[in-house]
Amino acid sequence: MAVGVFDSGLGGLTVLDALTRRLPDVPFVYFGDNAHAPYGVRDADDIFRLTCAATERLWGEGCDLVILACNTASAAALRRMQETWLPPDKRVLGVFVPLIEALTERQWGDNSPPREVAVKHVALFATPATVASRAFQRELAFRAIGVDVEAQPCGGVVDAIEQGDEILAEALVRSHVEALKRRMPNPEAAILGCTHYPLMEKVFQDALGPAVKVYSQADLVAEALADYLNRRPQFLGTGTESKFLTTGDPASVSNKATQFLRRKIAFQAA
């Protein structure tokens, strides 16, 4: 009954933590493609190829349902995977959906015409590849009208977080927030469109100010998955063991992950 969780690096661990708290009886297999991280600077074809390979590896672990706990993969690869590649007995879900549900206050299955929502000015902070894909804006437009989205590509933040350089990461976050506010001085809401960014949520909030509602993904994704599995339990795979897999060096990735989550994490070679 295992579920797969995929990220290009360590950011998806923030989602995994929330998933294990919400669904303690479900085994989760985490796959980090650390050898090819970060994805945020790669082109769409490269991201699609790497994401498909990782998903197939998780299928091999008995995970019929895979969560792309990577905004870049969700933005650049998910739709193409679902339309051209995914077999009918498997499911791959992204992490934009719960954010858009929360922002628009409507469920994903609600196919009524787009309508006006309370929030009119939204700041999106994401990797360069996610921003370039415009996937968030496209999905939002299906559900809401009259929402102005200003997207800020946050180059360097993921690398700084993965390297454990909190001082650099904080400085970069503040710089990116300042750059966005020059174009949108008064956002009402901010989307942290990368699973690494919850670790910097307090810095984002401080830089944006208390009037801005900051949406972070982990808990929203966990609640959405619990609802999905309640409605579609057939996609609980055959896997029975929780584990951590990486394409990188297991010892090095384990050390970084342990620092990242502040608890012992042991990765195996994928």
Cα(173)–Cα(181) distance, integer angstroms: 12
| Torsion angle (degrees, nearest 10) of CA 270, 17, 108, 140 | -90
CB atoms < 10 A from the CB of 28, how many?
20
Q: 71 labelled as ligand-binding?
A: yes
In this structure, the dihedral spanned by the alpha carbons of residues 23, 135, 104 and 82, taken in order and rounded to 10 degrees, is: -50
Q: Is there a binding annotation on residue 219? A: no
Residue tagged active-site, from 52, 63, 154, 194: 194
The per-residue b/e assignment along 146-159, b for 16 or more CB within 10 angstroms, e otherwise, is ebebebbbbbbbbb
Strands 243-246, 268-269: pairing is parallel
- Is 52 in the active site? no
Structure-token pair, residue 106: 């409507």
39 is in an annotated binding site: yes
Structure tokens at 3: 């579920």
Buried b (16+ CB within 10 A) or exposed e, 219-239: bbbbbbbeebbeeeeebbbeb
Q: Are 75 and 127 in contact (CB under 8 A)?
A: no
Please check if 40 is assigned to a binding site: yes
Cis peptide upstream of residue 38 (ω within 30 degrees of 0): yes
Task: Tell me: is residue 230 an annotated ligand-binding position.
Answer: no
Euclidean distance between CA atoms 76 and 47, whole angstroms: 7
Structure tokens at 41: 């600077």
Q: What is the 3-state secondary structure (H, E, C) of 206-226?
A: HHHCCCCEEECCHHHHHHHHH
On whether 72 is known to bind a ligand per the annotation, the reply is: yes
Query: Cα-flanking dihedrals φ and ψ of residue 210, to 5°?
Result: -70, -20
Catalytic site includes residue 70: yes
User: Has 130 been labeled as part of a binding site?
Assistant: no
Is residue 7 marked as binding? yes
Would you state the structure tokens that stand for residue 164, as one six-digit string? 């454990």
Pick out the residues of the known binding site.
Answer: 7-8, 39-40, 71-72, 195-196
Binding site, annotated residues for substrate: 7-8, 39-40, 71-72, 195-196
Residues assigned a catalytic role: 70, 194
